Amino acid sequence: MKKQILFCVFLFFLFNNLVSQEFSFQMYFEDAEGNRDTITIGYDPNGSRDTINPDFGEVNIVDIPFDSIFDVRITNQVDINGASWNYEYELYHSKKKIVNTIKKIVNIDIHAIHWPVTAMWDPELFDNPELNGSLFTSLNKNFWWDHGGYYSNLGRKVLHEQDQVTFTANYPDNWEEHPIEEYWGVYFCYYTDIEGNPLATYWVALGDSTWLYLSSENILRTAKTVIFPNPTDGVVFIEDNGLYIRDVYVYDITGKRYFLKLKENKLDISNLPDGIYLIKIIYYNEKTETHKIIKSKRKNNN
């Protein structure tokens, strides 16, 4: 009887845990030799991109070495490697991650000896307006897709359009001869684990179809408000288009928001690390514009 009661209690908490998640899905991975691994990604208001939440069944396995043949993990390693913006969270590795909202990017690290690797998922889960822009990609991008580079042939795959993709490693063939690559403070191609094994880095981005069409070229071409200088080493000036600016939001390429105030048409980003940022402008008539800007101390050397 005692075992039956304990089993019922376990089922009760398991059921509550499952129904509390607004959305989750599994990605199945298989290397060229048939070795397999699985991860789970989703979102819920009580989730977190940056910390482990045991309430959703997340377990930090950072102290467990990567499997020597094939291992797929969700991590925040890239954020920590590129933590020039004072990223304050502890390192985690997990097989499951529930973020707190859509339009969050989840970092996936893959250690594989036998490439290529195939990823599989259920596309019907993403066939709705809220999630039909969800992606699996080798580009570290949150708002645009036409800037930067990568080694994998993956590029990006829209999850509701197909159920699998076979892709190559996101590091060069002679990775041992390359230093860990860094782009504006973010390690976006590859790095090594503590044992020196190559880890290919990828991202899953959950969101609607607006993600698919934004590019830096389109942003600059359609914008009516002028932001200058660009690049900048600190202060940027914003000349509005007569619609009256209500709010200005600043994001880095990982989606992290910086709470800065617009004062007398000036935005001071001098305390932010060098890098690429998106400035989102919201007007009182609810119209919005998004501008890409580069912050670099080297701008005056050009």
Per-residue pLDDT tens over the stretch 42-83: 999 999 999 999 999 999 999 998 898 999 999 988 777 654
What pLDDT band is residue 93 in, cutting at 50, 70 and 90?
very high
Q: Name the pTM for this structure.
A: 0.65
Same domain, 204 and 222: no
- Are 232 and 197 found together in one domain? no
Same domain membership, residue 263 and residue 169: no
* Structure-block tokens of residue 80: 């920590």
Q: Supply the mean pLDDT for the chain.
A: 78
Domain with 272, as residue range(s), is 215-301
Same-domain check for residues 201 and 234: no
Q: What does the alpha-carbon distance between residue 216 and residue 302 come to, in Å, rounded to a whole number?
A: 21
Shared-domain flag, residues 135 and 268: no
Q: Confidence band (pLDDT; 50, 70, 90) for 84?
A: very low
Q: Give 233 or 173, the one with higher predicted confidence.
A: 233
Report which secondary-structure segment, H or E, holds 143.
Answer: none
With 80 as the cut, is the pLDDT of residue 236 above it?
yes
pLDDT of res. 11? 45
105, 241: one domain: no
Q: Is the pLDDT of residue 110 over 90?
A: yes
Mean pLDDT check: name the lowest of 9-18, 95-104, 232-241, 290-299: 9-18
Is the model's pLDDT at 87 over the cut of 90? no
Residues 202 and 226 in one domain: no
| Residue 223 and residue 149 share a domain | no
CA distance 252 to 141: 10
Give the H/E segment covering residue 136: strand 135-137
pLDDT of residue 82: 59
Paired residues of 283 in beta bridges: 245
Residue predicted with more confidence, 177 or 25: 25
SS3 128: coil
Instruction: Look at the chain and report how many structural domains it folds into.
Output: 2
Are residues 263 and 136 located together in one domain of the fold? Answer: no
- CATH number of the CATH domain containing 282: 2.60.40
Portion of the chain with pLDDT greater than 70, in percent: 71
Q: Which pLDDT band holds residue 17 (cuts at 50, 70, 90)? A: very low
Helices (H) and strands (E) in the chain, counts: 4, 19
Domain endpoint, select from 177, 209, 241: 209
Quick one: 97 and 181 in the same domain?
A: yes
Domain boundary among 165, 180, 209: 209
> Are residues 247 and 136 part of one domain?
no
Res 146: pLDDT: 54
The answer on 122 and 6 residing in a single domain is: yes
Exposure b/e, 184-197, CB count within 10 A at least 16 = b: bbbbbbbbebeeee
As given in the structure block, the two tokens for residue 186 are: 């973010």
